Structure 1
């Protein structure tokens, strides 16, 4: 996917959650936020022209997160 550089303002708590979650999943904060935004958009009903593609990406992201959580639980 193509990326665009943007400036965002987040409250301190949301940024801390994103930083911790990104670190736990071994990805950059930008990548984590991008995936989170895509999942939330799909979850709340947004359907872009390529909806099947977006839904597939969101499902892949969910599977990736589930696997990462399983790995973290296994580590104790």
Structure 2
């Protein structure tokens, strides 16, 4: 999959106008599910807790923080 194709699959909180607003994790998960998108997060504890409470979503990918976003996307795609 090319980077352009990968980019079409991603929607950021910034792109939907929700970044930095302190939106609760459960609402972020609802938003990603509504858009039929898998949620990628560095917030391990918050979203693992939500996963244990509700498995009706499009997926949660919990990552270790890495500023190499392109490399992170490639590693996710390979798995």
TM-score by length of 2: 0.25
- Which has the larger strand fraction? 2
- Which has the larger helix fraction? 1
Q: Name which one, 1 or 2, has greater alpha-carbon Rg.
A: 1
